[in-house]
Structure 1
Amino acid sequence: MRVISGERKGTRIKAVPGDQTRPTTDKVKESLFNVIGPYFDGGKALDLFAGSGGLGIEALSRGCDEAVFVDQHFRAVQTIKENLQTTRLTERSRVLKKDVTVALAELAGESPFKLIFLDPPYAKEQLAEQVAYIEQHDMLTDNGVIVCEHGSETELPDVIGRLQVIRRLQYSTVISITLYEFTELEERA
């Protein structure tokens, strides 16, 4: 695995040892960032179920100001910290060893995020509920995007609160990604 683009382009990052995590492949990561915006002008990223931290690190490399990484597994947290050191992005990052539900409750009072990545183990997906929580607690900026990576058999609703699907991407018979953003301001009025 490597950082695809931006200031840390080409830097190799480690996967979490063992088979507990399923890292987003470089091919999927590159395609995803081409869709959501190849580069960013600031903003915060939130990488939930972060695993190796590859998505949040990519967002930092492409111009996000800071990122918060959340994973409840010790090995994942160790790997994220090592990858942040390797990419020299530690100072722009915060790593939380917590369950995602607990972390969302703690982060709900902070300034909103521009990018939120949700990439849970496919067998434990609660994406619709987590996206609803994010929407209800105003955790996403008006121009922000929520990226949900999930099993291809999972169908997420077109609309969750004020959020709507802007794109659905199918990468294989196993991997799909659904992108949410706020509906247009005129539509919300």
Structure 2
Amino acid sequence: MRVVAGERKGMPLKAIAGNTTRPTTDKVKESIFNIIGPFFDGGIALDLFAGSGGLGIEALSRGAEQAVFIEKDVKAFQVLQENIKKCRYEDYAELFRIDAKRAVKALLKRDLSFKLVFLDPPYHHKEYYDLVQVLVDNEKVQRDGIILCEHAKEVALPHSFGAFILQRQEIYGGTIISVYRCAGEEGE
């Protein structure tokens, strides 16, 4: 695993040992960022179920000004911390070792909104995708923002989360990447 593009291009990232997480491969990560926009001009990214932090770190490397990482697994969180430090993003990253549901509840109390939301929960827990609706209902995703969900083929996500409509889906083996944007906010 490595940072694919931007200011930390080529920086190797540590992977999590074992099979408790599914890191997004470099090929899929590159594809994701080609879909949602190769580079960003600021904004805050939210990486729920961050694992080793590959998606949030990639967003920072490509121009996001800040990223919030949520990961409850102890081993994954340690690797996430190491990767943030290795990439020298300590001043641009907030890391929380907490369950995603509790994290979202806490984020609702904060005065911030996200330009990018990455959601890659354990595939067998469809209820975690409901967190997207909570963020949208509470105006925590900017209208020009992007929501990206990584999920198994067997998981059918809704056509929309409020004003955020499914714009595109890409299939990579048994994984689907679903991209949501506000209608008329495609920015392409």
**Does the pair score TM above 0.5?**
yes
Residue identity opposite 1:149 in structure 2: E
Q: TM-score, normalised by structure 2?
A: 0.94
Cα distance between partner residues in 2 of 1:86 and 1:102: 28
Cα distance between partner residues in 2 of 1:28 and 1:143: 23
Aligned residue for 2:135, secondary structure, equals: helix
Structure 2 residue 49 is the aligned partner of structure 1 residue 49: yes
Structure 1 residue runs without a partner (length 5+): none
Cα distance between partner residues in 1 of 2:12 and 2:170: 26
Cα distance between partner residues in 2 of 1:42 and 1:145: 13
Alignment match, 1:140: 141
Cα distance between partner residues in 1 of 2:27 and 2:72: 26
Structure 2 residue 114 is the aligned partner of structure 1 residue 113: yes
Kindly provide the CA deviation profile for residues 66-86 of structure 1, in whole angstroms up to 9, marking residues without a partner as x: 000001111111111100111
Q: CA-atom RMSD, angstroms?
A: 1.1
Aligned residue for 2:124, secondary structure, equals: helix
Residue identity opposite 1:59 in structure 2: A
Residue identity opposite 2:24 in structure 1: T
Residue identity opposite 1:32 in structure 2: I
Cα distance between partner residues in 1 of 2:41 and 2:127: 30
Q: TM-score, normalised by structure 1?
A: 0.94
Residue identity opposite 2:161 in structure 1: I
Kindly provide the CA deviation profile for residues 62-119 of structure 1, in whole angstroms up to 9, marking residues without a partner as x: 0000000001111111111100111111110010001001101111233100000000
Alignment match, 1:164: 165
Report % sequence identity: 46
Cα distance between partner residues in 1 of 2:157 and 2:169: 10
Cα–Cα, structure 1 residues 117 and 94, in superposed 2: closer, same or farther, change >3 Å?
same
Residue identity opposite 2:92 in structure 1: R
Alignment match, 1:84: 84
Structure 2 residue runs without a partner (length 5+): none
Cα distance between partner residues in 1 of 2:129 and 2:183: 17
Alignment match, 2:75: 75
Are the equivalent residues in 1 in contact too, given 2:152–2:176 (CA < 8 A)? yes
Are the equivalent residues in 1 in contact too, given 2:163–2:182 (CA < 8 A)? yes
Cα distance between partner residues in 1 of 2:176 and 2:20: 19
Are the equivalent residues in 1 in contact too, given 2:119–2:129 (CA < 8 A)? no
- Quote how far apart the aligned CAs of 1:125 are: 2.6
Are the equivalent residues in 2 in contact too, given 1:128–1:160 (CA < 8 A)? no
Kindly provide the CA deviation profile for residues 38-72 of structure 1, in whole angstroms up to 9, marking residues without a partner as x: 00000000000000000000000000000000011
Q: What number of residue pairs does the alignment pair up?
A: 184
What does residue range 91-130 of structure 1 map to in structure 2 within 5 Å?
91-108=91-108, 109-130=110-131
